[in-house]
């Protein structure tokens, strides 16, 4: 039977030999790191770094730390997860202070959950430090809220990229749900399947539903375009927007779309 008593918060030190700290490196802008992330990065003797982590974040690492780029840049395309997990376990066993640095938040489409399960299964404790997820940074950079008392009662973070063999998201069902419950859709990894996403969403949402594409959110190279659901793919192509991008669909974007119609096409990020 599950106890209804409140359990005390498990308190591990932020970083220490014998454990792994999973750290969210945020969407790119190094100023969006949390103070806790900076402290964990600075204490690490080994850092395993994902592709989408901005190198500027590594300025907080000790000059003596070993930095291992994993993901595509690390050349471990075939079995990345098992390879990364093996590296982490090995480094822990060697007495290193191990930090696993992941883009955005480790628990939003970052496979952080799988890594925690694997590490815990071999008895390695894990601490997680949140990061600002790309979906939040993308809309905030446009001064668009994800929720709004008039336009959106909530938000759904959804991936456009299904695991091989998985049928993936039912975009039509999601569109009906978003329409009825007034939800903003924030779509990660949606570029390569944008046509299927658009076609599915159009079955349940009006063609005029405002949408936006934000590429490289929070970085100096950020570019975005506002459009409608009906011309999402056309806009992606016309503006040559590609990965990494966030697609946002919902009435919260309406102000931005209007502004863009008035002022021209795709926007670049204003210098901070």
Instruction: Give me the residues that bind ligand SAH (CB under 6 A), please.
Output: 27-28, 52, 102-105, 108-110, 133-134, 138, 188-189, 214-219, 243-246
Q: Which two tokens stand for residue 8?
A: 């005390």
Q: Which is nearer to ligand SAH, 96 or 108 (CB)?
A: 108
The least distance separating ligand SAH from the CB of residue 50, rounded to whole angstroms, comes to 8
In angstroms, the CA 154 to CA 162 distance is 23
Determine the 3-state secondary structure of 5 from DSSP: coil
Strands laid side by side in the 126-129 sheet: 66-69, 46-49, 98-102, 20-24, 126-129
251 is known as an active-site residue: no
Q: Which is nearer to ligand SAH, 91 or 108 (CB)?
A: 108
102 is known as an active-site residue: no
The least distance separating ligand SAH from the CB of residue 187, rounded to whole angstroms, comes to 8
The least distance separating ligand SAH from the CB of residue 32, rounded to whole angstroms, comes to 10
The least distance separating ligand SAH from the CB of residue 71, rounded to whole angstroms, comes to 10
Q: Which is nearer to ligand SAH, 32 or 88 (CB)?
A: 32
Q: What is the 3-state secondary structure (H, E, C) of 51-97?
A: CCCCHHHHHHCCCCCEEEECCHHHCCCCCHHHHHHHHHHHHHHCCCC
Number of residues that this document lists for the chain: 272
Number of neighbouring beta carbons within 10 Å of residue 73: 10
Question: CA 208 from chain center: how many Å?
Answer: 27
The least distance separating ligand SAH from the CB of residue 226, rounded to whole angstroms, comes to 15
Whether the ω angle into residue 233 lies within 30 degrees of 0, i.e. cis, is no
Determine the 3-state secondary structure of 201 from DSSP: helix
Residues 6 or more apart in contact with residue 131 via CB below 8 angstroms: 23, 24, 25, 26, 27, 32, 33, 34, 37, 102, 103, 104, 105, 106
Q: Which is nearer to ligand SAH, 97 or 186 (CB)?
A: 186
Q: Which is nearer to ligand SAH, 22 or 205 (CB)?
A: 22
Catalytic entry in 36, 51, 182, 189: 189
Q: Which is nearer to ligand SAH, 175 or 217 (CB)?
A: 217
Nearest to 116 by CA among 189, 19, 33, 18: 19
Q: How far is CA 100 from CA 22, 36, 42, 44, 265, in A?
A: 5, 14, 12, 9, 39
189 is known as an active-site residue: yes
Catalytic entry in 50, 88, 102, 251: 50
Active site residues: 50, 72, 189
């Amino acid at each position: 039977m599950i106890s209804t008593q409140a359990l005390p918060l498990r308190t591990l030190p932020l970083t220490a030999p014998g454990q792994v700290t999973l750290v969210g490196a945020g969407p790119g802008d190094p100023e969006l790191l949390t103070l806790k992330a900076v402290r964990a990065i600075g204490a690490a003797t080994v850092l395993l770094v994902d592709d989408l982590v901005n190198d500027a974040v590594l300025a907080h690492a000790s000059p003596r730390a070993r930095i291992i780029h994993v993901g595509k840049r690390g050349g471990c395309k075939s079995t990345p997860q098992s390879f990364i997990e093996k590296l982490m376990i090995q480094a822990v066993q060697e007495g290193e202070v191990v930090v696993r640095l992941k883009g955005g938040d480790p628990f939003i489409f970052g496979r952080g959950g799988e890594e925690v399960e694997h590490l815990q299964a071999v008895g390695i404790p894990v601490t997680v430090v949140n990061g600002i997820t790309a979906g939040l940074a993308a809309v905030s950079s446009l001064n668009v809220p994800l929720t709004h008392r008039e336009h959106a009662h909530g938000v759904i973070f959804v991936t456009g990229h299904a695991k091989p063999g998985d049928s993936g998201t039912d975009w039509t069902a999601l569109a009906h749900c978003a329409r009825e419950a007034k939800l903003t859709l924030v779509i990660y990894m949606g570029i390569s399947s944008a046509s299927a996403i658009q076609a599915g969403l159009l079955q349940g949402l009006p063609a005029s539903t405002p949408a936006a594409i934000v590429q490289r959110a929070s970085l100096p190279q950020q570019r975005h375009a506002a459009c409608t659901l009906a011309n999402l793919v056309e806009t992606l192509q016309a503006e040559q927007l590609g990965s990494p991008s966030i697609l946002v669909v919902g009435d919260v974007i309406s102000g931005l779309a209007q502004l863009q119609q008035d002022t021209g096409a795709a926007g670049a990020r204003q210098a901070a």
